[in-house]
Amino acid sequence: MATLETFYEVMRRQGITRRSFLKYCSLTAAALGLGPELVPQIVHAMESKPRTPVLWLHGLECTCCSESFIRSAHPLVKDVVLSMISLDYDDTLMASAGHQAEAILDEVMEKYKGNYILAVEGNPPLNEDGMFCIIGGKPFVDQLRKVAKDAKAIISWGSCASFGCVQAARPNPTRATPVHEVITDKPIIKVPGCPPIAEVMTGVITYMLAFDRIPELDRQGRPKMFYSQRIHDKCYRRPHFDAGQFVESFDDEGARKGHCLYKVGCKGPTTYNACSTVRWNEGTSFPIQAGHGCIGCSEDGFWDKGSWYARLSDIHQFGIEANADQVGATAAIGVGSAIAAHAAVSALKRAQHKGDV
């Protein structure tokens, strides 16, 4: 790590031809939704810029983000991304362990002060002074704060880091807290999903390296290029939704014919992600294509919205599990009965005072 090679040098050293390199640049441009005129810009960046060190921390998480990441097909993580970025610390993937590993963290932080990217998978629990997640003998929240201090930007991998996900689901005993609520003075790119799509993860990193800036973010801090549309907007089953053709229950005729999964609780209409366009495992499939509704894993608090097989959310404030329709209909029946009773008493009263106004 004495002198950092450029991306291109690393790729050539690994036996990748210039032709393959240019193809990769074109593919990356396409994956990022950029026009062909921007390919030379990516080529130039790859040829001239030194690799950016990335420190990848793990808090309360299940490593599904890492599992997804290493399956990226375009670009292929094995050949490109792990060479492209200088992934200097990732306790799941790195060879070193223990004190050796922690030493690397300190070294990179010092050497590339203000120039490294911090990628966070999982989130810090804040209850009991953060004792629910210990890394190297210290609470994870301390490590996170320390590394974030001199980072150029932070990537929140997955729904845990972005929104809290399962750790932060009610009642959240450890007070697991999303990264942006702990680190407030750095640009944070949220890449939600449980896990996020591999190509989305590598796409975000590639964009940041190639253009030396963070991608354009939406109101919730997610890259617009991947999170500006709902699953529903680009779902191949959308015509069945518009037609009013639904799966009423799994394994019915509609399910066999591939009708819309809305009525069995598909959260596609409320979920922003690229699943219906990028898909998973080299574009093989995605949940809806496999016949199961979207569970909305890239949305804030998706664990606490009631059943994954019901469209309407549960409203917890009523103590029991009830959705808007149940609450509303109950209230309507109550008010209706009250009106009927009131009308009856009114009529009686009126009869009692017949004659006077």
Partner 1 sequence: MTTSDDASDHTQRPVSTPTARFMKAIYVYEVPVRLWHWINALAITVLAVTGYFIGSPLPSLPGEASAHFLMGYIRFAHFAAAYIFAIGFLGRIYWAFVGNHHAQQLFRFPFWDRHWWAELFLEARWYLFLERRPKLYVGHNPLAQFAMFWCIGVGSVFMILTGFALYGEGSGVDSWQDRLFGWVIPLFGQSQDVHTWHHVGMWVIILFVMVHIYAAVREDIMSRQSIISTMISGVRTFKDSEEPADEEHKAPAAKSKTVPKASEPID
| C-alpha gyration radius of the chain | 26
Map the footprint of partner 1 across residues 248-287, applying CB under 8 A. Answer: 248, 254, 259, 262-263, 267, 269-272
Map the footprint of partner 1 across residues 193-232, applying CB under 8 A. Answer: 218-220, 224, 228-230
Enter the tokens of residue 335: 């008010």
Enter the tokens of residue 109: 């932080």
Residue of 131, 243, 341, 344 that binds partner 1 (CB under 8 A): 243
Return all residues near 242 (Cβ < 8 A) that are at least 6 apart.
Answer: none
Residue of 239, 250, 282, 284 that binds partner 1 (CB under 8 A): 239
Give the shortest CB-220-to-partner 1 separation in angstroms. Answer: 5
Q: What is the 3-state secondary structure (H, E, C) of 44-74?
A: HHHHHCECCEEEEEECECCCHHHHHHCCCEC
Give the type of residue at 140: F
Which conformational region is residue 223 in: left (phi greater than 0), alpha (psi within -120 to 50 degrees), or beta? beta
Strand residue runs (E) in 114-191: 116-121, 134-135, 138-139, 151-157, 188-191
Q: Does 244 bind partner 1 (CB under 8 A)?
A: yes
Give the shortest CB-53-to-partner 1 separation in angstroms. Answer: 32
Residue of 213, 336, 341, 344 that binds partner 1 (CB under 8 A): 336
Give the shortest CB-169-to-partner 1 separation in angstroms. Answer: 13
Q: Does 169 bind partner 1 (CB under 8 A)?
A: no
Q: Does 332 bind partner 1 (CB under 8 A)?
A: yes
Q: Does 241 bind partner 1 (CB under 8 A)?
A: yes
Residue of 247, 266, 288, 322 that binds partner 1 (CB under 8 A): 247
CA separation for the pair 4, 308 (Å, rounded) = 47
Sheet order of strands, 188-191 included: 86-90, 53-58, 116-121, 151-157, 188-191
Q: Does 328 bind partner 1 (CB under 8 A)?
A: yes
Site size with partner 1, rule: CB under 8 A: 57
Give the type of residue at 86: S
Residue ranges that bind partner 1, judged by CB under 8 A = 218-220, 224, 228-230, 233, 239-248, 254, 259, 262-263, 267, 269-272, 296, 299-302, 305, 311-313, 315, 323-325, 327-329, 331-332, 335-336, 339, 342-343, 345-346, 349-350, 353, 356-357
